[in-house]
Amino acid sequence: MTSQYAESVADAPRYRWLIHVDLDQFQVSVERLRSPELVGVPVIVGGNGDPTEARKVVTCASYEARDAGVRAGMPLRAAYRKMPDAIYLPLDVPAYDVASAEVMSVLRGLGHPVEVWGWDEAYMGVDAVDGEAPAGHDRIGIGDLALRIRTEIFDRTGLHCSIGISDNKQRAKMATGFAKKPDPAADALAPFRIEKVFLLDELNWLPLMGPRPCRDLWSVGPKTAAKLAGHGVDTVEELIATPRENLIGIFGPHQGNWLYVLCRGGGDATITEEPWLARSHSKSRTYPTDMTDAAEMRAAALELTEDLLGQILSEEREVFRVAVTVRTTTFYTRTKSRKLPAPTTRLDDIAPVISELLGNFEIERPVRLLGVRCDLVMPEEGDEEES
């Protein structure tokens, strides 16, 4: 942690404000956009959607499932014992890739540098302090920007997010925790009242975090917390009172110095932007009337494919692999893919493969959702192998 922090400070621009954007129950939310009747229903995403399969874990659980004790990383079998009546869905990585890319595009469109940390998480830097004068956002102004971010993401993608604001990534990440779960003690120290947005900086850090256990510091795991407790350090205030030399003696120079910085609210104030280009585009649709006729399904899949190709042609990209996703009325969801003989943008080349993939499904129930994905050739990359 410390070495990465030092490298980023040396190599990347620093910002007065770091905004942490965290999409709420991301995979579940994407599935609910495709199947709105899942709203309010316990949904658990993981593996291939079979909760009895061994060695598979929960990737995302809806808030309803979390209230029953289901957590990400829990074995699917354990989740099933807790909630046998929940809806279990397989991971649909390409769909999540596309949804995430749409959100990140919204963030980049706001004119501030963005550092992506995963499907559902990113940092935005506001008011550079190196090389240019700050734009002058005060605490209320940065709150207004956070509200705009939440509104833009929802209006453009239908996804909700929580936002933490601070002057570094670590403190902004902790602020997001307060944004997700209302806390009367924390709210009393907040500089403004915006749903799902919280600002944590030098003015409310010590009153809010001081009495809390060291485990509440982001990146302090159970082993580190237990080791601190063994030396009589249980709270953030007690950690602040511990001399740097003592921490180095206990944890070594890297972790000891990091804990000394972290407990005082310090962290990484840089943003590293990386060029981004979509690896695929996909489109799915939940139909108002369930489909049972093969010809009707082929026509629906062709319409989705035509919509996708219009976008791909506008980007001057080529398709090298296609995939079809089918979801039945029982929420059985499967995807089949095939590599094309050669990269193309011609509908006449792609449509027969889509039709053949659709015919390969053993569909025993009416179909309520169809999806089509086109994997795209990346610049300066060779063709990928068929999956």
**Which positions ≥6 away from 151 have C-beta within 8 Å?**
none
The whole-number average pLDDT for the span 215-227 is 94
Instruction: Determine the pLDDT at residue 327.
Output: 92
Identify whether the C-beta of residue 177 lies closer than 8 Å to the C-beta of residue 212. Answer: no
Confidence of residue 145 (pLDDT cuts 50, 70, 90): very high
Instruction: Indicate the residue type of 296.
Output: E
CA distance 322 to 336: 9
**Would the pLDDT of 8 be above 50?**
no
Identify whether the C-beta of residue 165 lies closer than 8 Å to the C-beta of residue 17. Answer: yes
Condensed to tens digits (0 to 9), the pLDDT of residues 79-103 reads 999 999 999 999 888 889 889 999 9
CA distance 46 to 23: 18
Identify whether the C-beta of residue 119 lies closer than 8 Å to the C-beta of residue 98. Answer: no
Residue 66, both tokens = 């979390």
Instruction: Determine the pLDDT at residue 373.
Output: 93
The whole-number average pLDDT for the span 175-202 is 90
Instruction: Determine the pLDDT at residue 280.
Output: 87
**Would the pLDDT of 66 be above 80?**
yes
Instruction: Determine the pLDDT at residue 7.
Output: 47
Instruction: Indicate the residue type of 180.
Output: K
The whole-number average pLDDT for the span 18-38 is 95
Identify whether the C-beta of residue 154 lies closer than 8 Å to the C-beta of residue 146. Answer: no
**Would the pLDDT of 31 be above 70?**
yes
Instruction: Determine the pLDDT at residue 130.
Output: 67
**Would the pLDDT of 136 be above 80?**
no
Catalytic residue among 7, 37, 64, 121: 121
CA distance 234 to 218: 15
Instruction: Determine the pLDDT at residue 83.
Output: 95
Instruction: Indicate the residue type of 265.
Output: G
Q: How far is CA 152 from the centre of its chain?
A: 16
CA distance 63 to 42: 7
- Least Cα distance to 353 among 321, 385, 313 occurs for 321
Kindly give the residue spans of alpha helices, DSSP state H, lying in the chain. Answer: 2-11, 26-34, 63-67, 76-82, 93-108, 139-157, 169-180, 184-187, 205-209, 222-230, 236-240, 244-251, 253-262, 294-314, 347-359
Condensed to tens digits (0 to 9), the pLDDT of residues 297-335 reads 999 999 999 999 998 998 899 999 999 999 999 888 889
Confidence of residue 6 (pLDDT cuts 50, 70, 90): very low
Instruction: Determine the pLDDT at residue 77.
Output: 95
Instruction: Determine the pLDDT at residue 284.
Output: 87
Average pLDDT, the chain: 90
Bridge partner list, 367? 291, 328
Confidence of residue 276 (pLDDT cuts 50, 70, 90): low
**Would the pLDDT of 378 be above 90?**
no
Q: Coil, strand or helix: which one is 95?
A: helix
Question: How would you label 350-379 residue by residue, b for 16+ Cβ within 10 Å and e otherwise?
Answer: bbebbbebbeebebeeebbbbbbbbbbbee
Helix/strand/coil percentages in the chain, nearest 5 = 40, 25, 35
CA distance 258 to 49: 41
**Would the pLDDT of 367 be above 90?**
yes
Residue 90, both tokens = 């397989």
The whole-number average pLDDT for the span 97-117 is 93
Instruction: Determine the pLDDT at residue 212.
Output: 95
Instruction: Determine the pLDDT at residue 197.
Output: 96
**Would the pLDDT of 279 be above 90?**
no
* pTM for this model (two decimals): 0.78
Q: What letter does residue 272 receive in the DSSP assignment?
A: -
User: Lowest-pLDDT range, 184-193, 295-304, 358-367?
Assistant: 184-193
Active site residue 121: yes
